[in-house]
Structure 1
Amino acid sequence: MFSGHLPEWLDSFPALAVLSLKNNLFNGSLPDSLSSLETMRILSLSHNNFYGSVPDLRRLTNLQVLEMDNNAFGPQFPLLGDKLVTLVLRNNKFRSSIPGEVSSYYQLERLDISANTFVGPFQLELLSLPSIAYLNISGNKLTGMLFENLSCSPGLEAVDLSSNLLTGTLPKCLMSNTNDRTVLYDRNCLEETNQNQHAPPFCHTEAIAVGIVPEGKKHKRVSKAVLSIGIVCVTFGGIAIVALIFFIIRRVNFKTKIKSPPTKLISENAASGYTSKLLSDARYISQNMKFGTVGLPPYRAFSLDEIVAATSNFDTASFMGEGSQGKLHRGQLKDGVLVAIRSVKMTKSYSTQDFMHNIELISKYRHRHLVSVLGHCFECYLDDSSVSSIFIVFEYVPNGTLKSWISDGHYRKSLTWTQRIEAAIGVAKGIQFLHTGIVPGVYSNNLKITDVLLDQNFTAKISSYGLPLLSNMGKVGQGNHSSGFKSSSINKSVKNEDKSDVYDFGVILLELILGRTIKSRNVKTLKDLLQASITADGEARRSIIDPAVRKACLDQSLKTMMEICVRCLVKEPAERPSIEDVLWNLQFAAQVQDAWRGDSLSSSDGSPISPLASRRMAFHH
Structure 2
Amino acid sequence: MGANAAVLSLKNNMLNGSLPYSLASLQTLRVLCLSSNFLSGEVPDLRNLTNLQVLDLEDNYFGPHFPSMPSKLVTLVLRKNKFRLGIQTALGSCYQLQKLDISLNGFVGPFLSSWLSLPSIKYLDIAENKLTGLLFKNMTCNSELAFVNLSSNLLSGDLPTCLKRDSKSRVVLYSGNCLVNEDQKQHPSYLCHNEALAVRIPPPSEEKHRRTYGKHVVASSAVGGIVGAIAVVGLAFMAAKKFYSEQTTKTPQTRLISDTVSAVNTAKLLSDAKYISDTMKLGASLPAYRTFALEELQEATHNFDDSTLLGEGSHGQIYRGKLPDGTFVAIRGLKMRKRQSPQVYTHLLEQISKLRHSHLVSALGHCLECHPDDSGVSRVFLIFEFVPNGTLRGCISEGPPGRKLTWLQRIIAAIGVAKGIQFLHTGIVPGVKSNNLRIKNVLLDHDLHVKISSYNLPLLAESRGTMGTTVSSPAPKGSIQPRASHECKNDVYDIGVILLEIILGRPIMFQNEVGVLKDLLQVSLTTDDTGRRSIVDPAVHKECSDESLKTMMEICVRCLSKEPTDRPSVDDILWNLQFAAQVQDSVREDYLSHQGSPVSSSQQV
TM-score bin, normalised by smaller chain: 0.5 to 0.7
Find the residue that maps to 2:413 and give its secondary structure: helix
Counterparts of 1:169 and 1:566, CA distance in 2 = 42
Residue of structure 2 equivalent to 1:43:
none
**How far is 1:163 from its partner?**
4.7
Residue of structure 1 equivalent to 2:407:
417
Counterparts of 1:150 and 1:265, CA distance in 2 = 37
Q: In the alignment, does 2:563 pair up with 1:584?
A: no
The answer to whether the 8 A contact 2:351-2:428 is kept is no
Residue of structure 1 equivalent to 2:61:
139
Find the residue that maps to 1:442 and give its secondary structure: coil
Residue of structure 2 equivalent to 1:565:
556
Residue of structure 2 equivalent to 1:458:
448
Q: In the alignment, does 2:371 pair up with 1:371?
A: no
* 1:449-488 CA-partner distances (Å, limit 9, x unpaired): 12212222221111221100122222259x9999xxxxxx
Change (3 A) 1:265 1:157: closer
Among 408, 426, 429, the alignment partner of 2:416 is 426
Find the residue that maps to 1:341 and give its secondary structure: strand
The answer to whether the 8 A contact 2:435-2:455 is kept is yes
Find the residue that maps to 1:466 and give its secondary structure: coil
Counterparts of 1:306 and 1:322, CA distance in 2 = 21
Change (3 A) 1:170 1:342: farther
The answer to whether the 8 A contact 1:368-1:461 is kept is yes
Residue of structure 2 equivalent to 1:308:
298
Higher mean Cα deviation, 440-449 or 355-364? 440-449
* 1:4-28 CA-partner distances (Å, limit 9, x unpaired): xxxxxxxxxxxxxxxxxxxxxxxxx
Find the residue that maps to 1:598 and give its secondary structure: helix
What is the 5 A alignment of 1:427-446?
427-446=417-436
**How far is 1:595 from its partner?**
2.1
The answer to whether the 8 A contact 2:58-2:81 is kept is yes
* 1:22-68 CA-partner distances (Å, limit 9, x unpaired): xxxxxxxxxxxxxxxxxxxxxxxxxxxxxxxxxxxxxxxxxxxxxxx
The answer to whether the 8 A contact 1:145-1:169 is kept is no
Counterparts of 2:570 and 2:545, CA distance in 1 = 24
Counterparts of 1:446 and 1:303, CA distance in 2 = 31
The answer to whether the 8 A contact 1:320-1:330 is kept is yes
Q: In the alignment, does 2:288 pair up with 1:352?
A: no
**How far is 1:556 from its partner?**
2.5
Counterparts of 1:312 and 1:150, CA distance in 2 = 60
How many residue pairs match? The answer is 400
Residue of structure 1 equivalent to 2:464:
474
Structure with larger RCO (C-alpha < 8 A, sep 6+): 2
Residue of structure 2 equivalent to 1:49:
none
What is the 5 A alignment of 1:504-583?
504-518=494-508, 519-583=510-574
Change (3 A) 1:161 1:359: same
**How far is 1:308 from its partner?**
1.2
Counterparts of 1:296 and 1:395, CA distance in 2 = 8
Find the residue that maps to 1:549 and give its secondary structure: coil
Counterparts of 2:583 and 2:285, CA distance in 1 = 29
Counterparts of 1:528 and 1:435, CA distance in 2 = 29
Letter in 1 for 2:324: K
Find the residue that maps to 1:570 and give its secondary structure: coil
Counterparts of 2:410 and 2:277, CA distance in 1 = 24
Letter in 1 for 2:288: P
Change (3 A) 1:119 1:295: farther
Residue of structure 1 equivalent to 2:267:
none
Residue of structure 2 equivalent to 1:399:
389
Q: In the alignment, does 2:520 pair up with 1:598?
A: no
Higher mean Cα deviation, 315-324 or 503-512? 315-324
The answer to whether the 8 A contact 2:38-2:60 is kept is no
Counterparts of 1:169 and 1:387, CA distance in 2 = 68
Q: In the alignment, does 2:142 pair up with 1:151?
A: no
Counterparts of 1:120 and 1:379, CA distance in 2 = 50
**How far is 1:261 from its partner?**
12
The answer to whether the 8 A contact 1:427-1:462 is kept is yes
What is the 5 A alignment of 1:220-231?
none
* 1:567-605 CA-partner distances (Å, limit 9, x unpaired): 212222222221111111111211222222235989xxx
The answer to whether the 8 A contact 1:137-1:162 is kept is no
TM-score, structure 2 normalization: 0.56
What is the 5 A alignment of 1:14-93?
none
Letter in 2 for 1:585: N
Letter in 2 for 1:375: G
The answer to whether the 8 A contact 1:146-1:169 is kept is no
Counterparts of 1:566 and 1:474, CA distance in 2 = 34
The answer to whether the 8 A contact 1:311-1:318 is kept is yes
Find the residue that maps to 1:366 and give its secondary structure: coil
The answer to whether the 8 A contact 1:158-1:182 is kept is no
Runs of 5+ consecutive residues of structure 1 not aligned to the other structure: 1-75, 78-93, 98-112, 129-134, 187-194, 197-227, 233-242, 267-281, 483-490, 603-621
Q: In the alignment, does 2:315 pair up with 1:325?
A: yes
The answer to whether the 8 A contact 2:39-2:61 is kept is no
Change (3 A) 1:600 1:183: closer
Counterparts of 2:565 and 2:457, CA distance in 1 = 26
Letter in 2 for 1:470: L
Letter in 2 for 1:564: I
Letter in 1 for 2:295: D
**How far is 1:265 from its partner?**
10
**How far is 1:318 from its partner?**
0.8
Higher mean Cα deviation, 427-436 or 588-597? 588-597
Residue of structure 1 equivalent to 2:179:
none
Letter in 2 for 1:365: L
* 1:424-459 CA-partner distances (Å, limit 9, x unpaired): 111011111111221111222221212212222221
Counterparts of 2:333 and 2:40, CA distance in 1 = 39
**How far is 1:397 from its partner?**
1.2
Change (3 A) 1:572 1:410: same
The answer to whether the 8 A contact 2:543-2:591 is kept is no
TM-score, structure 1 normalization: 0.54
Runs of 5+ consecutive residues of structure 2 not aligned to the other structure: 1-10, 17-33, 44-51, 95-99, 101-110, 117-123, 130-199, 202-225, 251-274, 472-480, 595-605
* 1:326-353 CA-partner distances (Å, limit 9, x unpaired): 2110011122211100112334321110
Residue of structure 2 equivalent to 1:273:
none
The answer to whether the 8 A contact 2:422-2:571 is kept is yes
Counterparts of 2:247 and 2:115, CA distance in 1 = 44
